[in-house]
Amino acid sequence: MAAISGKVVQHNLVAKCCQQNRELSTKYQLHYCTLNRCNSLPPVGGKLAWNGNSTMQRGALSKFRRGVIYCNAASSATAIPFVEKSDFLKLQNGSDIRGVAVDGVEGEPLTLTEPVTEAIAAGFAGWLKKKYDSSKRLRVSIGHDSRISAQKLQDAVSQGLARAGVEVIQYGLASTPAMFNSTLTVDEEFSCPVDGSIMITASHLPYNRNGFKFFTRAGGLGKPDIKDILERAAEIYKNIANEDSKGAETAVSLSVKRVDYMSIYASNLVAAVRRAAGNIEKPLEGFHIVVDAGNGAGGFFVGKVLEPLGAITSGSQFLEPDGLFPNHIPNPEDKTAMKAITKAVLDNRADLGIIFDTDVDRSAAVDSSGREFNRNRLIALMSAIVLEEHPGTTIVTDSVTSDGLTTFIEKKLGGKHHRFKRGYKNVIDEAIRLNSVGEEAHLAIETSGHGALKENHWLDDGAYLMVKLLNKLASARTSGQGSGSKVLTDMVEGLEEPAVAVELRLKIDNQSDLIGGSFRDYGEAVLKQLENTVDSDAKLLKAPVNYEGVRVSGYGGWFLLRLSLHDPVLPLNIEAPSNEAAVKLAHDVLNAVKEFTALDTSALTKFVGA
Ligand SMILES: O=P(O)(O)OC[C@H]1O[C@H](O)[C@H](O)[C@@H](O)[C@@H]1O
């Protein structure tokens, strides 16, 4: 069947909903909610213009006819292929769903088809209904990043939700944190709050991937919830495929509202900076700040946040959404991406550079001298800001943070560093847990650039992290502390940084005989062996408190070998005061694990120069 095509009327700030037909392709029409204040959504350039045409218009489950969706119509163009429950479960990626949404990359078959997506959305609706156990009609918002499969998946998600009787609000191009915010915003004029929210994104992954993140007002969904949704989706898919094979028809009425929620969300960020600066209208007047959105969803930060606050933003780059990411991967952990924003800062003699990942839940910055605030340095900076506001508080971080960071937080800033596990959800949940048992924690942050503050509902929001830096810039100037990014640079003064910091990712060959176990069991066996070796080596000292993998000090540095959160990989992080010390640490790891033949140690062998 055809996907939605034709001219799309765009609406902003939904006030009243009236039924108006949207012009669709010959095959069906969709009833469309419009409003009494018709404006345009913010222009979205690049590959994601609002033409409603997706690059992959493959058969969705529902068949639309004149304002009604007929599911499983006999006119179905192609039969719905059989998909195993185990294939649905494979789409789980921690607390997200991820899959291949664009065909054509060798060895990467489509997994996130429209029918699968529709079933997942219906699965989420089922989960939500159970959670709220309510008879009222639930409302769910949908947003997406700049990926080329966004439109196609948005259509399928809308259909899946409508199939489950849920009211659908489309936000269009949006950031992940804005989607969570929509569950908290209380303004019926904007159809808020919504009961649940779906963000269509695969963060920084290649252009052919996509996925979903789900929110309720309690925050992002966790691993068990995602499993539950996928199990429901597999069942829904099976039922629909069965009906389809019998040629049965089910009518589903779909009405979609569109809200320019990014404007609402951005105006809250603007208000936060104004408030922190003592209610000054343009607290950033005269500051030159360049943004690199990497052609993701972060371009709004220039026109909707920095400019209303008075900042000069010339030299900002890659603000147009383009799901092929032609300039660099939108990822603050990526060296090329950090080089690009650093160059923009230096070329434009800007005061500050800001870079976001594709869906803006991660960010990093660059000072006027080109010094990067990412990884441990961003954590140090955010810790300094938060500890000024909450002296003595605990900072929760992921497991790959440096020893120097602990010394900085505890000795220089007077806080407590709680180094936990990798994974933004793990870090956030741990901070929430600490507070619940009486240990005050205000910041949960990962070296990946995910950072969440208690004051911001524990939402990992890359834009909000940058707002905290902007507040600091503005208040420092007001109080005469200086007028550039030096105030930020000075805050991380004293952070010890290692001469060498590497991450080597050792692959477990999934296809080989893992002695009857899974790659996780195999990985655990590797870690156990390493632990035993370390215990019998006087030069090495196991970290006394450690929540993940094997963390060891030696030769003035440290290493951590752990299992990847998602992949059959054992990432090895090494930090050391010299290359020689780093090689010695790597050597010790290699000696301990070399008998595990399914473990690809070539990166390690290369590093030690053997
Ligand atoms: O365990 P790894 O393979 O290094 O991946 C760990 C990372 O996975 C995802 O990207 C999550 O969003 C991050 O929060 C997490 O840190």
Chain segment 34-74, per-residue pLDDT in tens: 222 222 233 333 343 322 222 223 334 443 322 333 333 33
Cβ–ligand 1 distance for 328 under 6 Å, the answer: no
Model confidence at 32, in pLDDT bands (50, 70, 90)?
Answer: very low
What integer best gives the mean pLDDT of the chain?
Answer: 87
Write down the pLDDT at residue 610.
Answer: 57
126-130, 173-177, 516-520: which has the minimum mean pLDDT? Answer: 516-520
Q: Are residues 272 and 371 in the same domain?
A: yes
Cβ–ligand 1 distance for 356 under 6 Å, the answer: no
16-30, 350-364, 556-570: which has the minimum mean pLDDT? Answer: 16-30
How do strand 394-397 and strand 416-419 relate by DSSP bridges?
Answer: parallel
User: Which residue's alpha carbon is at the smallest distance from atom 1 of ligand 1?
Assistant: 564
Model confidence at 248, in pLDDT bands (50, 70, 90)?
Answer: low
In DSSP terms, 97 is beta-bridged to 92, 212
CA-nearest of 334, 337, 346, 305 to 318 is 337
In a domain, residue 284? The reply is yes
Q: Are residues 303 and 411 in the same domain?
A: yes
Nearest-10 crossing angle of helices 150-163, 114-132: 50
Q: How many angstroms does the Cα of residue 82 sit away from the middle of ligand 1?
A: 31
Cβ–ligand 1 distance for 564 under 6 Å, the answer: yes
Q: Are residues 587 and 457 in the same domain?
A: no
Cβ–ligand 1 distance for 420 under 6 Å, the answer: no
In a domain, residue 34? The reply is no
Pocket test for ligand 1, best of 565, 567, 572 (most atoms within 8 A of CB): 565
* DSSP secondary structure string for all residues of 360-396: SSBEEEEETTS-EE-HHHHHHHHHHHHHHHSTT-EEE
In a domain, residue 25? The reply is no
Most confident of 66-75, 187-196, 245-254, 552-561: 552-561
Write down the pLDDT at residue 473.
Answer: 94
Indicate the residue among 444, 468, 489 that finishes a domain. 489
Q: Are residues 227 and 338 in the same domain?
A: no
Q: Are residues 302 and 254 in the same domain?
A: no
Helix (H) / strand (E) containing 406: helix 403-407
Q: Are residues 597 and 476 in the same domain?
A: no
pLDDT digits (tens, 9 = 90+) for 462-505: 999 999 999 999 999 888 887 789 999 999 999 999 999 999 99
Write down the pLDDT at residue 241.
Answer: 84
In a domain, residue 37? The reply is no
Pocket test for ligand 1, best of 422, 446, 460 (most atoms within 8 A of CB): 422
Cβ–ligand 1 distance for 450 under 6 Å, the answer: yes
Q: What CATH number is associated with residue 323? A: 3.40.120.10
Write down the pLDDT at residue 250.
Answer: 64
Q: How many angstroms does the Cα of residue 568 sit away from the middle of ligand 1?
A: 13
Indicate the residue among 258, 288, 318 that finishes a domain. 258
Write down the pLDDT at residue 49.
Answer: 31
Write down the pLDDT at residue 311.
Answer: 98
Q: Are residues 266 and 380 in the same domain?
A: yes
Over residues 85-95, the mean pLDDT reads 96
161 SS3 class: helix
pLDDT digits (tens, 9 = 90+) for 363-418: 999 999 999 999 999 999 999 999 999 999 999 999 999 999 999 999 999 999 99
Predicted complex ipTM: 0.97
Residue 10 has pLDDT above 80, yes or no: no
In a domain, residue 43? The reply is no
Write down the pLDDT at residue 249.
Answer: 64
Q: Are residues 374 and 394 in the same domain?
A: yes
Cβ–ligand 1 distance for 201 under 6 Å, the answer: no
The rounded percent of the chain whose pLDDT value lies above 70 is 86
> How far out from the chain centre does Cα 52 lie?
24
- How many Å from the N-terminal Cα to the C-terminal Cα in the chain? 58
In a domain, residue 57? The reply is no
Over residues 152-161, the mean pLDDT reads 97
Write down the pLDDT at residue 210.
Answer: 98
Overall domain count for the chain: 3
Contacts of 452 (CB under 8 A, 6+ apart): 424, 427, 428, 431, 443, 444, 445, 458, 459, 460, 461
Q: Are residues 254 and 397 in the same domain?
A: no
Give the domain extent around 205: 86-243+250-258
291 contacts 319 by C-beta, under 8 angstroms: yes
Closest atom of ligand 1 to 96 CA is 12
Residue 26 has pLDDT above 60, yes or no: no
In a domain, residue 47? The reply is no
CA distance linking residue 213 with residue 186, whole number of Å: 21
Q: Are residues 317 and 462 in the same domain?
A: yes
Write down the pLDDT at residue 254.
Answer: 76
Q: Are residues 376 and 313 in the same domain?
A: yes
Cβ–ligand 1 distance for 219 under 6 Å, the answer: no
The answer to whether the pTM exceeds 0.95 is no
In a domain, residue 509? The reply is yes
Indicate the residue among 469, 489, 509 that finishes a domain. 489
433 contacts 454 by C-beta, under 8 angstroms: no
Q: What CATH number is associated with residue 546? A: 3.30.310.50
Q: Are residues 152 and 272 in the same domain?
A: no
307-311, 411-415, 553-557, 564-568: which has the minimum mean pLDDT? Answer: 564-568
- Taking the CB of residue 298, how many other CB atoms lie within 10 A of it? 30
Q: How many angstroms does the Cα of residue 35 sit away from the middle of ligand 1?
A: 41
